[in-house]
Amino acid sequence: MTGMSAGHVIGVDLGGTKLLAGVVGADLVVRHRAVRPTPAEGAIELLAEVVSELADAADGDVAAVGIGMPSLVDSARNEVVWTNHLALAMTPVRDLISERLGLPVAIDNDGNAALLAEHRFGAARGAEHALMLTLGTGIGGAILVDGEIVRGAHGGAGEFGHMIVDPDGPECPGNCPGRGCLEALASGTALARLGERAALEAPESALGRQLAEGRPITGALVTELAHDGDGFALEALAVVGYWLGLGLSGLANIFDPDVIVIGGGVGSAGDLLLEPARAQIAARALPPVAASVRVEPARFGEEAGMLGAALLAWEQLAHV
């Protein structure tokens, strides 16, 4: 790719609750990292602050910035159309950040960015048809058809988190008007809700003891305790895996992908999450699809979005 030899770029993955950014070389090695909690208000100011901090750490050796947004992004206008967890609707993020920093900036949906990294160098490498779901505070998603990312008419293609899988289920968190969405049942937020319920119902469990000690029950904590063998945490992950598999069964039938890549913080649970999901696909997807589709963890884990954003920046340089 032209422009790939020019110093470094900054990749930013702006999540619903966490921002992860890094100075990334053409070899996709991350030289400097920054992690910040994402505020409900003031995300643009935070973006500018973190990017400036990383540019200083790189001694000015930064040629461009790429940002993955948890949003519907109008790629033609480089504008955020809608965001479920942040107040960024109709915000010209690219132009605002570019003007403040004096650098070329590229933006895209965070799921698209993550799939870009996984398709180029990760779990979807070599696939012509792939899906990606990133399970964090919410659920991001992306679609690859004939080797190209599909964005849709309004930048909303791949919003798998807002596919309704249980019409009588819990209200979807954030600005979504739905209930029983996949995001309400299979995200980190959903895992935390199940873990807290288990902690209250079983105070003698590891989850219950953590709650009694004043530790917030988060999806990351439930995953940690599941890896340690706590039965209640394992059951919470199995429930999330069931709902995830239910959603993936429908997506597999619709898109007939070679591979479905699962990333984000909840994806770090690995087979504790993916085996229940695979079982649902085996039971519910059309037989030819169920027999062929692979469900794989993201090679780059929670950094897939950041690295994909860096690739967006390299592509921006190639067209400057």
Query: Is residue 2 assigned to a domain?
Result: no
Give residue-wise pLDDT tens across range 82-110.
877 777 777 788 888 899 889 999 999 99
User: Is pLDDT of 60 > 80?
Assistant: no
User: Is pLDDT of 6 > 70?
Assistant: no
User: Is pLDDT of 154 > 90?
Assistant: no
Q: Which has more confidence, 175 or 85? A: 175
Give residue-wise pLDDT tens across range 184-229.
999 999 999 999 999 999 999 999 999 999 999 999 999 999 999 9
Report the predicted TM-score, pTM, of the whole model to 2 decimal places. 0.92
Residues 166, 79 share a domain = no
Residues 191, 76 share a domain = no
Query: Is residue 215 assigned to a domain?
Result: yes
pLDDT attached to residue 3: 40
Phi-psi region of 161 (alpha: psi -120 to 50; beta: other; left: phi over 0): alpha
- Residue 76 is part of a domain; what is its CATH number? 3.30.420.40
Cα 189 to chain centroid, rounded: 13
Neighbours of 5 (CB within 10 A): 9
Query: Is residue 121 assigned to a domain?
Result: no
CA distance 95 to 233: 44
Residues 95, 240 share a domain = no
Residues 314, 260 share a domain = no
Query: Is residue 3 assigned to a domain?
Result: no
Instruction: Taking residues 112-125, report their average pLDDT.
Output: 97
CA atoms within 13 Å, Cβ hemisphere of 117: 34
Residues 262, 234 share a domain = yes
Query: Is residue 266 assigned to a domain?
Result: yes
Q: Compute the C-alpha angle 185/307/238, nearest 5°.
A: 25
| Residue 43, domain extent | 8-115+303-318
User: Is pLDDT of 316 > 90?
Assistant: no
Residues 285, 149 share a domain = yes
Query: Is residue 172 assigned to a domain?
Result: yes
Q: How many domains does the chain have?
A: 2
Residues 138, 76 share a domain = no
Residues 175, 90 share a domain = no
Query: Is residue 63 assigned to a domain?
Result: yes
Residues 158, 245 share a domain = yes
Instruction: Taking residues 24-33, report their average pLDDT.
Output: 92
Report the percent of the chain where pLDDT is more than 90.
Answer: 78
Query: Is residue 120 assigned to a domain?
Result: no
Residues 142, 163 share a domain = yes
Residues 79, 138 share a domain = no
The model's confidence at residue 320, banded by pLDDT at 50, 70 and 90, is: low
Residues 136, 285 share a domain = yes
CA distances from 315 to 52, 107, 246 (A): 21, 11, 36
pLDDT attached to residue 93: 83
